[in-house]
C-alpha cells in the first residue's frame, strides 16, 4: 500500500506539505474524539506560512492499494490546533473530524 500525506490551505488550495514531493515522516494517533498528526519537518518559510493559516487547513491521507480503490480521508482542522516545536522540529496538527471517501464513487 502506498500512502500520501497532504496539508493544504482550505481557502486558497495552496499545498503546504505533500509527501509525494518531499520525505515527510509523520504519525497519526487518536486523541480524545479526534486525531493528532505529528510531522517531522524543519523550520522554513513554508512552515511559517502554514502556521499563519492554521485555522484554514485541511489534511488528507490517501491510501492506494494494488487490489482495491484508493481510500481518501479528509481531516478537518478546527480552532487552529496547529503548533510547531522548534526544539523537536515537529509540527503538530489536531483534527476534530474526518470523512473517508472513494473518489470513484463521485463521478460526474
**70-100 burial by CB neighbour count: b if 16+ within 10 A, else e?**
ebbbbbebeeebbebeeeeebbebbbeeeee
Beta strand pairing call for 82-85 and 71-76 = unpaired
Distance CA 35, CA 5 (A): 14
pTM score over 0.95: no
Q: Give me the tens of pLDDT residue by residue for the chain, a chain 108 residues long.
A: 999 999 999 877 899 999 999 999 999 999 988 999 999 999 999 999 999 999 999 999 999 999 999 999 999 988 879 999 999 999 999 999 999 998 777 655
| Ranges of H-type helices in 2-99 | 45-52
The 8-class DSSP code of residue 96 comes to S
Amino acid at each position: 500500500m502506498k500512502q500520501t500525506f497532504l496539508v493544504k490551505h482550505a481557502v486558497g488550495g495552496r499545498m503546504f506539505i505533500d509527501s509525494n514531493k518531499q520525505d515527510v515522516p509523520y504519525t497519526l494517533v487518536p486523541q480524545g474524539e479526534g486525531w493528532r498528526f505529528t510531522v517531522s519537518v524543519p523550520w522554513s518559510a513554508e512552515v511559517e506560512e502554514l502556521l499563519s493559516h492554521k485555522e484554514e487547513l485541511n489534511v488528507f491521507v490517501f491510501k492506494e492499494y494494488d487490489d482495491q480503490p484508493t481510500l481518501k480521508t479528509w481531516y478537518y482542522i478546527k480552532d487552529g490546533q496547529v503548533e510547531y516545536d522548534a526544539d523537536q522540529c515537529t509540527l503538530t496538527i489536531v483534527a476534530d473530524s474526518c470523512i473517508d471517501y472513494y473518489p470513484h464513487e463521485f463521478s460526474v
